[in-house]
Structure 1
Amino acid sequence: MRGVILAGGHGKRLNPLTLVTNKHLLPVYKKPMIYYPIETFAKIGIKEILIVTNGEYIGHFYKLLRTGEDFGVKLHYEIQEGNEGTGAALLCAEEFAKGDDFMVILGDNIVTENIKDFVDDFEEEKKEFKAKILITKSENPELYGVVEFKDNKITRLVEKPKEPFSNYVNTGLWIFKSEAFEMLNNMKKSSRNEYETTDVLNNYAQQGQLTYGILKSKWTDAGTFEQLYKATALMKELEDNAKEACTFEKDIIY
């Protein structure tokens, strides 16, 4: 399986910070935001990773990340022309995927747990399903893509509904079989004048071919000032908890 990180867009909700750089290069606690999705892939053994971003800042990404050797992965880069949505960005990965299954992470997603089971389970599930998404419970579902599910299938997915019908949301981590590019190539623009990956996921849901995994740990994205602060606080909390656990273990030993 190959990995794709979507790290384009203009990050207007984070202006003026994003007037001079891509939002995925902004700090989340002690690391640039882009480190987190790379580390998520590395933990689960996905070594071939494509970063899709704007041409304006691709040099910034390369200066920071180089070939990915420091992470134990091999990084590839692709420029997304224009700003026509996640669907258009994902199409930039068609040649990179080379007919393999691939996992997508929206670059501003911060996942703290090892999601290897989420990926490994798809090997069996893909006999029945064509795609899989990672979902989590949210206190503010109206800010995200809200999902409804029954048994092992996603039955509905609506982007930022005014009246959420569920507390479960789409985290922005998805697995696709390579045939998804056929559907992506036939997409039409949404009311937001963008090509939406959500439309592809919805199509699979309507066909009964979209499954899911539920995130067990805390999650946030970092696309607004409030969420960026929340992501930083979360990483600080995790570091503090790890230090406390380490101190507790030493006290027991001595």
Structure 2
Amino acid sequence: MKGIVLAGGKGSRLYPATKVISKQLLPVYDKPLIYYPLSVLLLAGIRDILIISDPISLAQYKMLLGSGEKWGIRFTYAIQEYPRGLAEAFIIGEEFIGQSDVCLVLGDNVFYGNITDLMRKALSLKNSGAVVFGYPVQNPSDFGVIELDRSGNILSIEEKPENPKSKFAVPGLYLYNHDVVEIAKGIQPSARGELEITAVNDEYLKQGRLSCQLLGRGFAWLDTGTPKGLLRASQFVETVQERQGMYIAALEEIAWRQGFIKTEELIELGEQLRMTDYGKYLMSLVEGKSD
């Protein structure tokens, strides 16, 4: 399976902070926001990742992430000239996806929990189709909403409905087989002129090939699209890291634990950041001070 991080959008709800910088480059406590969705892909064992962003920001992502070699993975980069909807990611990434399954994660989503087991279970549900996730929220009208029957089968998906049929929002994490490219090409733009991801999911639903994995207690999904959301996400990360002594979305650690890089490579990465708490944490992993 390959991964796509869609790091586009204007970030207008975060203006003026995002006037000259992509929102996914803003810090969530001690790391750039994009580290968090990237951590989901790495924890799922995905090592071939496409980063999609606007022409100006893409150069900054290349400077931040490079080729991915230092983490034992591979980054490819592609331009989205203008935000035309989430589903456009599959059209832009057609050559990258090829005949592979693909996981799309939005660049401004922060997930916390046992991602490895979650993704393993989701993959078992996919069956050459697609999997979306459901997360209970108090304000479902602000999101795509999924309706399920008592057996967990999907009845409907609606984009920001005025009268939501459930409390389960669809977060920015999706699994698809390679058919998603042709499906994305076949959908029509919405009233706001975008290729909606909900339209892609609805097509899989019509074909009887869409499953849902619920994120219950033990998982956190944090929206960082507003200043308040960004602040709360930073406070969440700071609280967990300070209390547990274990870092969230430390890509070097994940790559090491996944076997993507060797211990000597982790030491080298930690040495490069030895003047920071982040670097000291990486070194403590090798020294056995952090489990």
> How high is the TM-score relative to the length of structure 2?
0.79
Residue 221 of structure 1 contacts residue 227 of structure 1 at CA under 8 Å; is this kept in 2?
A: yes
1:107 pairs with 2:107: yes
Runs of 4+ in 1 over 4 A off after TM superposition: none
Partner amino acid, structure 2, of 1:239: Q
Q: What is the aligned length?
A: 243
Question: Where in structure 2 are the equivalents of 1:14-53 lying within 5 Å?
Answer: 14-53=14-53
Query: 1:110 offset after TM fit, Å?
Result: 0.3
CA distance in 2, matches of 1:79, 1:115: 28
Q: 2: distance between equivalents of 1:140 and 1:176? A: 27
Percent sequence identity over aligned pairs? 35
Rounded Cα–Cα distance in structure 2 between residues aligned with 1:157 and 1:200 = 10
Three-state SS of the structure 1 residue aligned to 2:63 is helix
**Corresponding residue for residue 177 of structure 2:** 177
- Is 1:141 aligned with 2:140? yes
Contact preservation (8 Å) 1:136, 1:171: yes
The 5 Å alignment of 1:92-171 reads 92-127=92-127, 130-150=129-149, 151-171=151-171
Shift of 1:65: 0.8
- Deviation, 1:124, is 3.8
Question: What is the root-mean-square deviation of aligned Cα atoms in Å?
Answer: 1.7
The change in CA–CA distance for 1:53 and 1:113 in structure 2 (over 3 A counts) is same
| Structure 2 residue identity aligned to 1:190 | S
Cα distance in 2 for partners of 1:214, 1:241 equals: 27
CA contact (8 A) 1:29 1:232 kept: yes
Stretch deviating more after TM superposition (117-126 or 132-141):
117-126
Q: Is the 8 A contact 2:44 2:120 kept in 1?
A: no
- Structure 2: distance between partners of 1:90 and 1:220: 24
Moved more, 54-63 or 215-224: 215-224
Shift of 1:207: 3.2
The match for 2:86 is: 86
Deviations 1:33-75 (A, max 9, x none): 0011111111221000111110111111011111123433211
Kindly tell me: are residues 185 and 18 of structure 1, through their superposed partners in 2, closer, same or farther at Cα, counting changes over 3 Å?
same
For residue 250 of structure 1, what is the aligned residue in structure 2? none
Distance 1:211 1:92 in 2: 25
1:249 aligned residue = none
CA distance in 1, matches of 2:117, 2:93: 24
Native 8 Å contact 2:126 2:176 kept in 1: no
Q: AA paired with 2:238?
A: K
| Distance in 2 between residues matched to 1:44 and 1:126, nearest whole Å | 14
Structure number with higher strand proportion: 1
* 1:238 Cα offset (Å): 1.4
How far apart are 1:154 and its partner, in Å? 1.9
Q: Which amino acid aligns with 1:220?
A: L
Residues 142 and 163 in structure 1, CA contact (< 8 A), matched pair in contact too: yes
Matches within 5 A, 1:241-252: 241-243=243-245
Q: Deviations over 1:178-235 (max 9, x none)?
A: 0111111111110111111110101222333210112241111211112212211221
TM-score by length of 1: 0.90
